[in-house]
């Protein structure tokens, strides 16, 4: 029977509807039936896991939590109500349990990265980098080749790279922002801006061999930070909407609306610059038979990757990834730790005293070295407490449960389920950090026996992930954190300019702080 004849035989036609109208109606009915069936099926798979009412049928609750810029509140409050494993979507659970995070990320774990979420985490939208690659074998092979560069091996000296950037920052602050008895009025320092500029220059210096000069010129070169800020809310929200994510990041969509190296603005300009720089290194390297060194005479990440046989296209992807991944996270850790430190006079005074004693006893060089900083117990306590209170990554980065399923927090989770990580909740777990886990109190890392202290440090270290997916940029981040706090506090005294409104904060998957203004005076180290 022909389709038209079949439609004529249907009851709807007898009501005066045409065949095309009937076809449309039945298509809608078919779609709704399919949607209801799949929604009920999805809900039923994870029906034993409590969560906000709509999460069994839709991802909109989680996407809205991100979109509002209050994800740290939404997810923490949900887990306080529903428990350490909470449903936040039809196929998504969220955990804030340290042991689960360690198990999922272990080197021999059978968990994989969730393809849906990581589509939105690609910095070059056309291919994956080591941060977004979901094929475990490809990820492991690539990470092994990149490890030397990220960890400053070969002829690199990341410590000197950071020292150079920090020296420029100290000079700038002393000249333009430091109040003194003899100086005229000076403006307050926007700590959010200078911390972001330090992070950008540190990554470009260590990564490419030449800093962009954001600190020295107080300029957002190439409008990079402006571009990142304009995209953050949308991209982080899309990561929690897998259906829309697949459409927008499909190859046909990217061909129409995606960034291109030939663009005159936006992310495309950055991709074009990366492509040009990497291409130059390969050509120069072939001509000279060796990596190209920067003006400092030192090697850098890009050079080490060329030397270690990483392909040109892979390097383009990794260079494009290292800037956003290594700047927003590090700068947010700097900002959050400084905010809590300046808001806690006892901690501020104790850290200043430790630095003053170290200088007086000759245990702190100028600038401080990484080795010296590691031996300052209260500095390490402050930095870990800052990371705990303001994790550089608050949520996201889901792992997919292996086909055979797994038991998480005492409950069996079916295979194929995505498990999101709630770092904010995990790092304020009272069973680990005590009844005052919601307070900034660095002393907690110096109390109790060695086993207890090690547990705190190891749990806090999960802010950089764990195992096979541990953050490759952790070494550079720690260099910046240690050196910034010692060098800033040995040179300056800092005070929050407006205690009633210290800053503006939005949290998507990564904290985005703005307008953190501080008054700077010359340090008085006794």
The CA-atom distances, in angstroms, between 334 and each of 39, 289, 400, 423 are 43, 40, 31, 17
96 assigned binding-site residue: no
Task: Give the Cα separation of 331 and 512 in Å (integer).
Answer: 9
For residue 171 the two structure tokens come to 């000079």
If you ran DSSP here, which 8-state letter would residue 12 be given?
A: G
Sign, CA torsion 118/426/465/406: negative
For residue 47 the two structure tokens come to 């029906």
Task: Give the Cα separation of 364 and 362 in Å (integer).
Answer: 6
The CA-atom distances, in angstroms, between 29 and each of 23, 25, 32, 214 are 10, 6, 5, 57
Task: Give the Cα separation of 70 and 508 in Å (integer).
Answer: 7
CA dihedral 489, 491, 496, 502 (to 10 degrees): -70
∠ CA 506-68-394, nearest 5°, is 50
For residue 120 the two structure tokens come to 């939105």
Interaxial angle between packed helices 474-491 and 345-360, expressed in degrees from 0 to 180 and rounded to the nearest 10: 90
Nearest residue to 328 via CA among 512, 165, 463, 161: 512
Task: Give the Cα separation of 175 and 466 in Å (integer).
Answer: 42
* Beta strand residue intervals within 101-147, DSSP E: 112-113
Task: Give the Cα separation of 162 and 139 in Å (integer).
Answer: 28
The CA-atom distances, in angstroms, between 31 and each of 26, 27, 36, 54, 60 are 8, 6, 9, 20, 19
Residue 526: how many other CB atoms lie within 10 Å: 7
- The gap between the terminal CA atoms of the chain, to the nearest Å, is 96
Q: For residue 404, which phi and psi values (nearest 5 degrees)?
A: -80, -5
DSSP calls for 142-203: HHHHHHHHHTT-TT--HHHHHHHHHHHHHHHHHHHTEE-SSS---PPEEHHHHHHHHHHHHH
Sign, CA torsion 375/381/384/386: negative
Bind-site residues for heme? 471
- Which residue ranges make up the annotated binding site? 471
């Amino acid at each position: 029977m022909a389709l038209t004849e079949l439609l004529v035989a249907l009851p709807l036609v007898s009501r005066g509807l045409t065949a095309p109208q009937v076809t449309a109606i039945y298509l809608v009915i078919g779609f709704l039936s399919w949607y209801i069936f799949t929604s009920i099926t999805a809900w039923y798979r994870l029906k034993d896991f409590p969560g906000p009412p709509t999460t069994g049928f839709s991802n909109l609750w989680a996407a809205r939590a991100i979109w509002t810029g209050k994800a740290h509140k939404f997810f923490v409050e949900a887990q306080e109500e529903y428990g350490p494993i909470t449903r936040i979507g039809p196929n998504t659970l969220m955990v804030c349990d340290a042991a689960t995070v360690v198990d999922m990320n272990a080197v021999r774990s059978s968990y994989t990265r969730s393809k849906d979420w990581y589509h939105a985490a690609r910095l070059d939208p056309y291919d994956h980098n080591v941060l977004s690659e979901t094929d475990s074998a490809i990820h492991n092979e690539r990470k092994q080749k990149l490890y030397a560069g990220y960890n400053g091996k070969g002829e690199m000296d990341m410590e000197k790279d950071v020292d150079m950037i920090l020296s420029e920052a100290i000079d700038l602050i002393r000249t333009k922002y430091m109040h003194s008895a003899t100086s005229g009025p000076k403006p307050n320092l926007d700590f959010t801006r200078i911390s972001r500029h330090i992070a950008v220059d540190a990554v470009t210096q260590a990564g490419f061999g030449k800093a962009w000069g954001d600190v020295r010129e107080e300029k957002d070169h190439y409008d990079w930070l402006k571009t990142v800020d304009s995209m953050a809310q949308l991209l982080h929200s899309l990561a929690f909407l897998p259906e829309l994510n697949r459409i927008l990041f499909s190859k046909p969509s990217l061909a129409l609306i995606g960034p291109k190296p030939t663009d005159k603005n936006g992310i495309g300009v950055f991709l074009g610059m990366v492509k040009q720089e990497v291409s130059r290194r390969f050509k120069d390297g072939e001509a000279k038979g060796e990596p190209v060194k920067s003006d400092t005479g030192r090697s850098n990440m890009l050079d080490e990757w060329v030397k270690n046989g990483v392909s040109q296209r892979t390097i383009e992807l990794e260079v494009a990834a290292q800037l956003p991944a290594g700047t927003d996270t590090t700068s947010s850790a700097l900002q959050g730790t400084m905010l809590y430190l300046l808001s806690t006079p006892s901690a501020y005074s104790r850290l200043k005293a430790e630095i003053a004693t170290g200088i007086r006893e000759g245990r702190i060089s100028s600038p401080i070295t990484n080795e010296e900083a590691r031996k300052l117990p209260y500095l390490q306590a402050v930095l870990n407490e800052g990371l705990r209170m303001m994790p550089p990554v608050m949520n996201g980065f889901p792992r997919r449960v292996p086909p055979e399923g797994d038991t998480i927090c005492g409950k069996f989770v079916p295979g194929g389920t995505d498990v999101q990580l709630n770092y904010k909740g995990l790092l304020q777990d009272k069973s680990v950090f005590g009844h005052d886990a919601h307070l900034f109190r660095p002393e907690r890392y110096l109390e109790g026996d060695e086993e207890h202290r090690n547990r705190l440090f190891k749990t806090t270290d999960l802010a950089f992930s764990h195992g096979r997916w541990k953050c490759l940029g952790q070494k550079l981040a720690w260099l910046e954190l240690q050196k910034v706090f010692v060098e800033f506090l040995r040179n300056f005294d800092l005070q929050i300019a407006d205690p009633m409104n210290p800053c503006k904060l939005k949290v998507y998957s990564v904290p985005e702080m703005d307008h953190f203004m501080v008054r700077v005076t010359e340090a008085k180290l006794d």
